[in-house]
Chain A
């Protein structure tokens, strides 16, 4: 059974500092890994999707890496801003046919960027 872990559960940084968020998973049989952002009381917004054949993906200040063999992904957010305060979730999609469409989510990292 796939398990996804995000450590730390919460993180507080001063504005301008770079953010490093970690995600680990136990089963390397995946199609892709996706990073989401969730604001309080809101739905999930997709930030980046990394396909299993890729090592990294970039979008603006965001960069996500994937090491499938070691079961790890890291999301880097450069020059953090107070508007980056949110909960960040990672999710992996199994490539096992019997698992269907299933995404397995980590518990999330709650980020606070202080002005």
Chain B
């Protein structure tokens, strides 16, 4: 299994540009999430999905959109990039919420710089 994969690894955007961060997992996990990690702020949940076709907002959803058309993929869209969105973005997945299969697996991250 490749686990959780994210592309791109690095991206530089200009203010106002849009882009999509890709996330895919090959473990047949129902639950997928997007986090951002900022110095002094820790990891914060942006959006999450409990299955194909079902998404919901996390703590910091403004400026981001998600969709979940398949179990495997969970892309994160930046609609109009702002310098405040400069961060490291992590995608995570788990088979369930409870029990031993509730273990969350993280991708390697995407470093985004918005100028």
Taking beta carbons and an 8 Å cutoff, which residues of A are in contact with B? 31-32, 34, 36, 42-46, 49, 51, 89, 91, 93, 100-103, 105-108
Contacts and interface: CB of A to CB of B under 8 A. Distances in A.
A43 B5 CA distance: 11
B105 A46 contact: yes
Q: Which residue, B97, B100, B106, B108, has most C-beta atoms of chain A within 10 A?
A: B97
Interface in B40-65: 42-43, 45, 48-50, 56, 58-59
30 contacts: A32-B102, A42-B108, A42-B109, A43-B90, A43-B108, A43-B109, A44-B90, A44-B106, A45-B106, A46-B103, A46-B104, A46-B105, A49-B100, A51-B98, A51-B99, A51-B100, A89-B43, A100-B48, A100-B50, A101-B31, A101-B33, A101-B49, A101-B50, A102-B48, A102-B59, A103-B43, A103-B104, A105-B42, A105-B43, A106-B42
B50 A107 contact: no
Contacts of B59: 102
Query: How extensive is the interface on chain B, given as a class?
Result: 20 to 34
Nearest to A54: B100
Interface in B1-40: 31, 33
Contacts of B50: 100-101
Contacts, number: 61
Contacts of A31: 97-98, 102
Chain A interface helix/strand/loop/mixed: strand
Contacts of A91: 43, 104
Nearest to B94: A101
B110 to A, nearest CB: 10
A46 to B, nearest CB: 5
